């Protein structure tokens, strides 16, 4: 019986549920020293002097650095965001370290700063990078720039904004490094151990063979751990120079400033449409506040290139401007450009419907892409699907119109509830991925995946795929990852690519190993053989797969014991329809998410239990984006939502009830797994659905009300409810 | 200062700085399931049972709990095994970083209430944050443990 497609509980859980998982802070080689950073309280300042002498007079303090191999600290003698590192201390334990960090004296010359991207673009704005000549970090144009909509019967203009948020994985970032005189081992709470290894080796001038990077259990990342941060290189360099193990683990407040933030994009748009709701043209300008350094390249470009969403809008053009401001650098956060694009286009569809007094579903139906594959105006080719058919199925499975009727009835009883629908198409998967499938001497199998899972359950999914391909029990397949001593190259877990790219690599490796073992079995049995269920057989007899493997290990047959596969995966496009239900308190503007239903065509679903888990978690992050979360900077450039006490990560109390469905007849991708990816769907679809649900409720009281920016805080909703 | 702690049935006598946080002392003793996720006593990843009641061990000094009976997620008994099975069956753990805190909060609830309702679970466990699961599977796992 095939394992793929079944809701098998995770094989990863045993360690986690016994408290035996090993996260970064659980790694502490004997004699480990503790590193910490002196960080700027100013958003923009010249660093005049760093005096560590008082701190270094404490015998518990081993070393202090204002520069180390790797990226410069305070490049050009300046700090450009609150929380940027100025100096690093190394002490014998974390209490001594905390004492010593207080004793470092830094003379700063505060400089004029800018935290508003519009102001950062004005003439005379303070420049973050003088050599750049302006605060423009990047510009691009996609589609037809003259998509002005002049020819359309109706034109609507407006501005939309998706706020800056903090990924806030439950485990803060951290690094441990140890040098034994031969090998430098770097453990990091990262999504990209291969990149960590390359950057550390490059900074220290070491060959890759002498640097090993290990990704231990990682307590969540959501894209915030997919670049190599300066601290990772500096801590490794200190361990190498000192010849002693060094550990740095960010405090939560430190992590809020030193780990990349997400989203933070605005769209100015002009949409042209006709009386039936058919959109004729869409012009947009995306302004993305990238913060102090351009670490998150490509985010606004993805948002731009997905701006027409699942709609066939032939005349479309987008300009992109990435702007430097004195904030924490922006980076990938679950969805990375597609949540923004989807929020923008779904808001526009709702606005067009409201302008015309039409059903928002009717407007979407009139514009949906018909006939796949389809290349959008920005060159993105949506691969497979049936968008109109899936929409109709979704409307019925999700009970959308029944929910609308129920909301009417509730309103008649005096309860203000709203129902919002969103449709999305998103792009997942890119690049190569690596897999090694190895036969162990007892006939069990080890799979090394180049992906770098950190909670998704990828090891269970890949084990299902490989066990099916080898026709062996799930228990015979063990999946490992995250150590360059096991696999030297890969990309990692990001962009909803792990099962599609990594699973396909593993599937093809397993297939090749199976073919090689079949040839070995034919030598052993002296005849052509067939294979099924772990057994080779032919006219001369039979052999279990373990017997063949043992024969190769002992030189009695020749054949492969492992297969190394590199799979290049082209992008693929999940599509779906989501519905959110909220209750609004008209007295306070408080919004309570009540119910969330989803219907997704994400290709084959390897494990529905785990796929549903991905939707749940992604949806709650999208709900947080819609209602609760925001990285707020005050006029002085202080991050004032600087820790979990001040920043609104949703709790048990805010979570809606989820009802997740996947398409009964999904459209496969071209990949061997047939999958399209599910990791980011929830975060992409939920925000526009929740925002429309709030607007739907509010419009009963204030018919013209319009939500154009997130989060919809009680204050904002209260204002919308009033004339 | 000398502090005596009984952790999962094992007695430890340790010399601690007066300012040492309980979470650091427990981790130093090898109870690594007790995790640090914040610095404001918000996230609950460090939740342990102290004399049967759930507490955030980052918000206590070790010297405050001298003589206490402490239970961490490494503990093994019938109730914890039931919770573990249920968490696995309902896919209630993803990255796992909050999971020790979730197990401890659930253990405290089920120790005094055999069949809690969904709402009771949500209210009782709201002191532990999770960024991965969206909470629903945790609620189910506790209700059906």
Interface test with A, best of B19, B83, B100, B135 (most A CBs within 10 A): B135
Residue A718: CB atoms within 10 A of its CB come to 17
Please determine, for residue A537, whether its predicted confidence score (pLDDT) is greater than 80.
Answer: yes
In this predicted model, what pLDDT tens digit does every residue of A55-100 receive, in sequence order? 999 999 999 999 999 999 999 999 999 999 999 999 999 999 999 9
| B91 with A612: Cβ contact below 8 A | yes
Q: Looking at chain A from residue 424 to 463, which residues have their Cβ under 8 Å from any Cβ of chain B?
A: 454-457
What is the per-residue pLDDT for A723? 81
* Contact state of A645 with B40 under an 8 Å Cβ cutoff: yes
Interface test with B, best of A10, A19, A686 (most B CBs within 10 A): A19
pLDDT tens track for A304-323: 999 999 999 999 999 999 99
- Residue in A34, A98, A170, A454 to test binding to B, most B beta-carbons within 10 Å: A170
Closest alpha carbon to A170 in B49, B145, B135: B135
Sorted by sequence, the CB contacts under 8 Å of residue B112 that are 6+ apart come out as none
Rounded to a whole number, what is the distance in Å from the CA of B67 to chain A's nearest CA? 24
Instruction: Find the farthest-apart pair of alpha carbons in chain A and give their distance in angstroms, rounded.
Output: 88
pLDDT at B104: 98
Answer whether B33 touches A (CB < 8 Å): yes
DSSP one-letter string for B15-77: E--TT-BHHHHHHHTT-TTS----SSS-S-TTEEEETTEEEEGGGSBGGGGTT-EEE-TT---
Instruction: Output the pLDDT for position A151.
Output: 76
Q: Tell me which residue of A152, A157, A159 sits closest to A315, measured CA to CA.
A: A152
Helix intervals (H) in A24-115: 53-56, 94-102
**Inter-chain CB proximity B88 and A10 less than 8 Å:** yes
Asked if B54 contacts B60 with a C-beta cutoff of 8 angstroms, the reply is no
Give me the torsion for CA of A594, A596, A597, A601, rounded to 10°. Answer: 180
Nearest-angstrom CA–CA distance, A71 and A302 = 27
A663-681 tens-digit pLDDT: 999 999 999 999 999 999 9
Of 3.40.1280.10, 3.60.21.10, 3.90.1150.10, 1.10.150.120, which CATH number belongs to B78-143? 1.10.150.120
Find tokens 């990309």 and name the residue.
A491
Report yes or no: B1 at the A interface, CB cutoff 8 Å: no
CATH architecture, domain defined by A338-370+380-426+572-721: 2-Layer Sandwich (3.30)
Pairwise CB contact (< 8 Å): B91 & A457 = yes
A residues 12-41 closer than 8 Å to B (CB)? 12-14, 16-23, 25-26
Contacts of A12 in chain B (CB under 8 A): 96
Identify the closest residue of chain A to B31 by CA–CA distance.
A19
**Percent of chain A predicted with pLDDT > 90:** 98
Q: What is the pLDDT of residue A149?
A: 58
- Confidence band of A297 (pLDDT split at 50, 70, 90): confident
CB B74 within 8 A of CB B81: no
**B19, closest residue in chain A (CA to CA):** A95
Task: Give the mean pLDDT of A115-138.
Answer: 98
Residue of B nearest to A610 (CA): B91
Decide: residue A375, CB within 10 A, 0-12 exposed, 13-18 middle, 19+ buried.
Answer: exposed
Inter-chain CB proximity A170 and B98 less than 8 Å: yes
**N-terminal to C-terminal alpha carbon distance within chain A:** 62
Residue ranges covered by each domain of chain B: 2-71, 78-143
Residue A394: per-residue pLDDT: 98
**Residues A104-121: tens digit of each pLDDT:** 999 999 999 999 999 999
Q: In chain A, what are the helix, strand and coil shares in percent, each to the nearest 5? A: 30, 25, 40
Q: What is the pLDDT of residue A1?
A: 79
The fold of A430-568 is Aldehyde Oxidoreductase; domain 4 (3.30.365)
Backbone phi, psi, residue A95, to 5°: -75, -45
Instruction: Give per-residue pLDDT as tens, A445-493.
Output: 999 999 999 999 999 999 999 999 999 999 999 999 999 999 999 999 9
Which two structure tokens, joined as six digits, stand for B23?
């979470």
Task: Look at B37 and A652 and tell me if their CB atoms are within 8 Å.
Answer: no
Superfamily of A31-111 according to CATH: Aldehyde oxidase/xanthine dehydrogenase, a/b hammerhead (3.90.1170.50)
Helix (H, G, I), strand (E, B) or coil at A23: strand
Min Cα distance A228 → chain B (Å) is 20
> Is residue A631 a contact partner of residue A647, using CB atoms and an 8 Å limit?
yes
Domains B2-71 and B78-143 alike in fold: no
Q: With contact defined as beta carbons under 8 Å apart, do A650 and A623 qualify?
A: yes
Structure tokens that stand for A56 in this block? 């270094």
Confidence of residue A240 (pLDDT cuts 50, 70, 90): very high
Check: CB of residue A656 under 8 Å from CB of residue A693.
no
Cα distance between residue A655 and residue A637, in whole Å: 32
The whole-angstrom separation of Cα B20 and Cα B68 is 16
**pLDDT tens, residue by residue, B89-122:** 999 999 999 999 999 999 999 999 989 999 999 9
Q: At the topology level of CATH, where does B2-71 sit? A: Ubiquitin-like (UB roll) (3.10.20)
pTM of the shown model: 0.97
> In which residue ranges of chain A is CATH 3.30.365.10 found?
338-370+380-426+572-721, 430-568
Q: Chain A residues with CB inside 8 Å of B19's CB?
A: 95
**Among A604, A578, A588, which Cα is nearest to A671's?**
A604
């Amino acid at each position: 019986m095939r394992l793929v497609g079944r809701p098998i509980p995770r094989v990863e859980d045993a360690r986690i549920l016994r408290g035996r998982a090993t996260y970064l802070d659980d790694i502490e080689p004997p004699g480990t020293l503790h590193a910490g950073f002196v960080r700027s309280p100013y958003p923009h300042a010249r660093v005049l002097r760093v005096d560590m002498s008082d701190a270094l007079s404490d015998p518990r303090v081993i070393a202090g650095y204002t520069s180390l191999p790797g990226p410069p600290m305070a490049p050009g003698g300046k700090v450009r965001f609150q929380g940027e590192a100025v100096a690093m201390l190394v002490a014998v334990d974390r209490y001594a370290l905390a004492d010593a960090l207080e004793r470092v004296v830094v003379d700063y010359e505060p400089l004029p700063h800018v935290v508003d991207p519009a102001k950062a673009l004005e003439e005379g704005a303070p420049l973050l990078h003088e050599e750049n000549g302006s605060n423009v970090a990047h510009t691009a144009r996609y589609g037809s720039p003259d998509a002005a909509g002049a020819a359309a019967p109706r034109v609507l203009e407006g501005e939309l904004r998706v706020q800056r948020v903090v990924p806030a994985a439950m485990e803060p970032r951290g690094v441990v490094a140890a040098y034994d005189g031969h090998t430098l081992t770097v453990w990091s709470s990262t999504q990209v151990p291969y990149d960590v290894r390359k950057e550390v080796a490059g900074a220290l001038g070491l060959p890759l063979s002498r640097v090993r990077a290990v990704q231990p259990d990682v307590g969540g990342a959501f894209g915030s751990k997919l670049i190599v941060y300066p601290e990772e290189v500096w801590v490794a360099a200190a361990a190498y120079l000192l010849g002693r193990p060094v550990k740095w683990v960010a405090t939560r407040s430190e992590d809020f400033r030193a780990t990349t933030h997400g989203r933070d994009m605005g769209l100015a748009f002009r949409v042209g449409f006709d009386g039936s709701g058919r959109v004729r043209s869409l012009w947009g300008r995306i302004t993305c506040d990238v913060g102090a350094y351009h670490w998150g390249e490509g985010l606004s470009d993805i948002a731009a290139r997905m701006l027409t969403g699942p709609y066939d809008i032939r005349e479309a053009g987008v300009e992109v401007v990435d702007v430097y401001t004195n904030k924490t650098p922006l980076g990938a956060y679950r969805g990375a450009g597609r949540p923004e694009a989807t929020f923008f286009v779904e808001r526009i569809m709702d606005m067009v419907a409201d302008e015309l007094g039409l059903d928002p579903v009717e407007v979407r139906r009139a514009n949906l892409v018909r006939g796949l594959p389809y290349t959008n105006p920005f060159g993105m080719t949506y691969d497979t699907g049936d968008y109109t058919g899936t929409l109709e199925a979704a409307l019925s499975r999700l009970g959308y119109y029944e929910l609308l009727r129920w909301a009417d009835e509730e309103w008649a009883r005096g309860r203000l509830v709203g129902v919002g629908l969103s449709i999305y198409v998103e792009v997942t998967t890119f690049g190569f991925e690596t897999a090694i499938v190895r036969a162990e001497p007892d006939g069990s199998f080890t799979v090394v995946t180049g992906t770098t899972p950190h909670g998704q359950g990828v090891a269970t999914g890949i084990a299902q795929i490989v066990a099916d391909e080898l026709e062996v029990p799930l228990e015979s397949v063990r999946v490992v990852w995250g150590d360059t001593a096991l696999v030297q190259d890969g990309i990692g877990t990001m962009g909803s690519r792990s099962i599609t790219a990594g699973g396909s690599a593993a599937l093809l490796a397993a297939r090749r190993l199976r073919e090689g073992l079949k040839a070995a079995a034919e030598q052993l049995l002296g005849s052509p053989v067939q294979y099924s269920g772990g057994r080779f057989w032919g006219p001369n007899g039979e052999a279990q797969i373990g017997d063949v493997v043992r024969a190769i290990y002992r030189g009695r047959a020749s054949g492969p014991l492992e297969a190394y596969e590199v799979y290049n995966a082209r992008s693929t496009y999940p599509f779906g329809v989501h519905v959110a239900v909220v209750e609004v308190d008209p007295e306070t503007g408080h919004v309570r998410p009540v119910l969330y239903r989803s219907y997704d065509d994400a290709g084959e679903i390897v494990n529905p239990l785990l796929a549903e888990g991905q939707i749940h978690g992604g949806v709650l992050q999208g709900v947080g984006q819609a209602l609760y979360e925001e990285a707020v900077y005050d006029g002085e450039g202080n991050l004032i939502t600087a820790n979990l006490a001040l920043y609104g990560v949703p709790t048990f109390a805010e979570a809606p009830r989820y009802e997740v469905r996947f398409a009964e007849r999904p459209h496969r991708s071209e990949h061997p797994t047939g999958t399209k990816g599910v990791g980011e769907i929830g975060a992409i679809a939920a925000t526009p659905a929740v925002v429309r649900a709030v607007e739907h409720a509010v419009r009963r009281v204030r018919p013209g009300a319009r939500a154009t920016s997130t989060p919809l805080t009680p204050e904002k909703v209260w204002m919308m409810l009033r004339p | 200062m000398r502090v005596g702690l009984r952790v999962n049935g094992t007695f430890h006598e340790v010399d601690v700085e007066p300012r040492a946080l309980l979470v650091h002392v427990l981790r130093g003793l090898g109870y690594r399931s007790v995790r640090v996720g914040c610095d404001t006593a918000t996230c609950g990843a460090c939740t342990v049972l102290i004399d049967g009641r759930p507490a955030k061990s980052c918000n206590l000094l070790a010297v405050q709990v001298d003589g206490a009976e402490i239970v961490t997620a490494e503990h093994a008994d019938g109730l914890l095994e039931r919770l573990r099975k249920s968490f696995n069956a309902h896919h209630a753990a993803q990255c796992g970083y909050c999971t020790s805190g979730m197990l401890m909060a659930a253990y405290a609830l089920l120790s005094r209430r055999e069949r809690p309702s969904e709402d009771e679970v949500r209210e009782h466990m709201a002191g532990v944050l999770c960024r991965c699961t969206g909470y629903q599977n945790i609620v189910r796992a506790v209700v059906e443990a």
